Homo-oligomer: A and B are copies of this chain.
Amino acid sequence: MNYTFADNINGLKPSAIREILKLSSQPGIIPFSAGNPAGEAFPSKEVAEISNAILEKDPIMALQYSVTEGYAPLREYIAKYMKEKYSVGSEDDDIIITSGAQQVMNLVTKVFVNRGDTIICEDPSFIGSLNAFRSFGANLVGVPVEADGIDLNALENAIKISENVRFLYTIPNFQNPSGVTMSLEKRKAVYEICKKYGVLILEDNPYGEIRFSGEDIPTIKSMDTDGIVIYAGSFSKVLSPGMRVGYAIANKEIMAKLTVCKQTDDVHTTLWSQLVSYKFVTEYDFEAHLEKIRSIYRRKANLCMRLADEHLKPAVDYYPVEGGLFLWCKLPENIDMMEFTMKALENKVAVVPGTAFSVDTAAKSDRIRINYSTPTDEQIINGMEILGKLLK
């Protein structure tokens, strides 16, 4: 049979980089292309203890159907934690537990975007979110990212000239892939610009808790007196991505729609994951665990940046990072990025070609993304040396 797919789905083209990423998961390959938390960052022993206790004491609760909004004590914990630590959330807001933060991107798009409507995105940006937007037929308009975050003039201009702008998608902390953190001044300005034009902000903050140097900068959501910011958080980078636990905090009116859509999407997030997350953050020392993770990524990031300076500079430039998982490297003009990426793969080093993160899928790029959380320290040392040799 010849299948006729929905128009939105026909627009989703098979990605040229998919084959590279497939190859890159093979054994023997140095995985600079991944985005996984380091295995050593998982509190495996604690999760086992918690899980055993849950399944011994109250197995039926963990195995039965649950409510779409999420496990109430976990929702209350997050609401309180985010309010006290980051001034996120108001009396007009509510919270929903999702199957990873990816589901927030999906639900928000479903709730707000008609086919052809515009979503403004940082360019480059996280491919998973861009594809979620594309899967609803959204018109993506990219705005360049500078060393201190999104280009404000370009943002205002993009909003002005685009039709039916539904929201701005931004990752203010340790942006994926650029590693850039938006300055406080820009966050304030972004909020004011969006407020002025009646544009919502989808603030994605998966890496916020893994700042390993410098000072926290207030979230855009903490400035949200007008109910225009939808905040997406995640346990993937601070506890476990395999569990699939994320959340959204937004105005109650928005939340009611997100909840109806989540009900039709997957009914509720796996209860075991929610229970384990809840017990971990309340019965163990979550802050000490975060400190441990931060010190792991601090070590790995510093190692990676030191080796980049040694092997890749001055030909290659990158934004120094204070958190997150990635180095975004600019190749010299005389090097073809895709050719370099393929050459690296032949030499057993997998990086992600910059084009993967372009809002315009036909755009060229002179960048590669290097992940330092997944490879071992030894792999980082060997991999950076190999990339350095290839450059010469």
Q: A102-B265, A242-B270, A270-B242 given as contacts; is B56 within 8 A of A42 (CB)?
A: no
Contact among B1, B5, B263 with A226 in the assembled complex (CB-CB below 8 Å): B1
- In the complex the two chains form, what is the Cα distance from A163 to B12 in whole Å? 25
Copies of this chain assembled into the complex: 2
Contact among B1, B44, B65, B115 with A63 in the assembled complex (CB-CB below 8 Å): B44
List A residues 195-243 near B (Cβ within 8 Å): 198, 200, 226-228, 236, 240-243
Among A46-54, A177-185, A306-314, A381-389, the stretch that binds chain B is A46-54
Whether the pair A99, B266 counts as a contact (CB closer than 8 A) is yes
- In the complex the two chains form, what is the Cα distance from A200 to B269 in whole Å? 29
- In the complex the two chains form, what is the Cα distance from A257 to B61 in whole Å? 35
A8 proximity list for chain B (CB < 8 A): 110, 114
Whether the pair A44, B64 counts as a contact (CB closer than 8 A) is no
- In the complex the two chains form, what is the Cα distance from A311 to B267 in whole Å? 35
Size class of A's contact patch? Answer: 35 or more
Q: A47-B59, A103-B265, A264-B135 given as contacts; is B1 within 8 A of A198 (CB)?
A: yes
Whether the pair A64, B111 counts as a contact (CB closer than 8 A) is no
Contact among B1, B64, B254 with A3 in the assembled complex (CB-CB below 8 Å): B254
Interchain residue pairs with CB less than 8 A apart (25)? A1-B228, A1-B251, A5-B257, A6-B117, A8-B110, A9-B257, A12-B260, A35-B65, A39-B64, A48-B52, A48-B55, A52-B52, A63-B243, A64-B240, A99-B244, A99-B270, A110-B135, A115-B115, A128-B264, A131-B263, A135-B261, A244-B268, A270-B270, A270-B273, A272-B272
Whether the pair A64, B106 counts as a contact (CB closer than 8 A) is no
Which residue of chain B is the closest to A102 with respect to CB atoms? Answer: B267
- Shortest A199–chain B CB gap in Å is 10
- In the complex the two chains form, what is the Cα distance from A264 to B55 in whole Å? 31
- In the complex the two chains form, what is the Cα distance from A236 to B251 in whole Å? 32
Asked if A350 CB lies within 8 Å of chain B CBs, one says no
List A residues 76-103 near B (Cβ within 8 Å): 98-100, 102-103
Asked if A356 CB lies within 8 Å of chain B CBs, one says no
- In the complex the two chains form, what is the Cα distance from A115 to B110 in whole Å? 12
Asked if A302 CB lies within 8 Å of chain B CBs, one says no
- In the complex the two chains form, what is the Cα distance from A106 to B136 in whole Å? 13
- In the complex the two chains form, what is the Cα distance from A54 to B282 in whole Å? 23
- In the complex the two chains form, what is the Cα distance from A338 to B47 in whole Å? 47
Contact among B36, B98, B263, B269 with A244 in the assembled complex (CB-CB below 8 Å): B269
The 10 closest A-B pairs by CB, nearest first: A44-B59, A63-B240, A48-B55, A242-B271, A132-B264, A270-B270, A99-B266, A39-B60, A65-B241, A63-B242
A52 proximity list for chain B (CB < 8 A): 48, 51-52, 55
